[in-house]
Amino acid sequence: MNKRTLYTYDSFYQISRKNLIAIGSADSVWRIVSVDRISTGEFLVTLKSRNTFGVIPEIDEEKIPEKYRKEIMPELDRFIDVANRETPASIVDAARNTAIILIRNFTYISNNEPEIFTMDLGKLIKTLKDTKKELSSLAAEIINRLHPRNKPNERKRLKLRPVTEEDSELAVCLIGTLIQEFGWAK
């Protein structure tokens, strides 16, 4: 007769207010996606691995002027949420939106040019090149080039393949690159 083992976890820590838990150790971090009560009255907890840890660097908020934190921090929280819950196409869209917020705030801090707040990503990339942030502009350019793959008409017109899981992982890494290059990481 086969004996089955039930594995349990002795530690169950809530590590933040953002529905994150560590099971067993701080290295095993999960996001609580949903909690549902099933017909037996028990709770069914759906977890998703918090795989953006290590890819999106931890932000040192003190390095971002307070005036700009109010837009940057909630946008990064939204992006991390999308990166952990959504489809590859949604992640690429969110990366583009996040890149716009990060770049326009960084370039405004550097240049104080109000028209930056009305520019699309393509024009913002040009302003990054002017500030000698070559790696940042290349990271943003890749995000910008991934974006049309979400649009059926653009995909057909440009003969592009659809967005893949690997594309979405690349987009997450590129947002991490922007944070590092702007000097906002711990």
Residues contacting 40, CB < 8 A, separation 6+: none
Same domain for 40 and 67?
Answer: no
Same domain for 168 and 140?
Answer: yes
Same domain for 128 and 65?
Answer: yes
Which one has a higher pLDDT value, 52 or 184?
A: 184
Number of structural domains (the chain) is: 2
Going by C-alpha positions, the residue among 42, 73, 80, 61 that lies closest to residue 171 is: 80
Same domain for 125 and 167?
Answer: yes
Which 3-state string (H, E, C) describes the chain? CCCCCCCCCCCEEECCCCCEEEECCCCCEEEEEEEEECCCCCEEEEEEECCCECCECCECHHHCCHHHHHHHHHHHHHHHHHHHHCCHHHHHHHHHHHHHHHHHHHHHHHHCCHHHHHCCHHHHHHHHHHCCCHHHHHHHHHHHHHHHHHCHHHHHHHCCCCCCHHHHHHHHHHHHHHHHHCCCEC
Same domain for 164 and 123?
Answer: yes
3-state secondary structure of 15: coil
Same domain for 150 and 80?
Answer: yes
Same domain for 78 and 127?
Answer: yes
Is the pLDDT confidence value at 152 over 70? yes
Q: State pLDDT tens for residues 39-98.
A: 888 888 887 665 555 568 888 889 998 888 999 999 998 998 888 778 889 999 999 999
Same domain for 25 and 67?
Answer: no
Whole-model pTM above 0.85?
A: no
Same domain for 30 and 101?
Answer: no
Percent of the chain whose pLDDT exceeds 90: 27
Same domain for 19 and 92?
Answer: no
Task: For residue 82, give its domain range.
Answer: 61-181
Residue 44, in any domain of the structure: yes
Same domain for 90 and 136?
Answer: yes
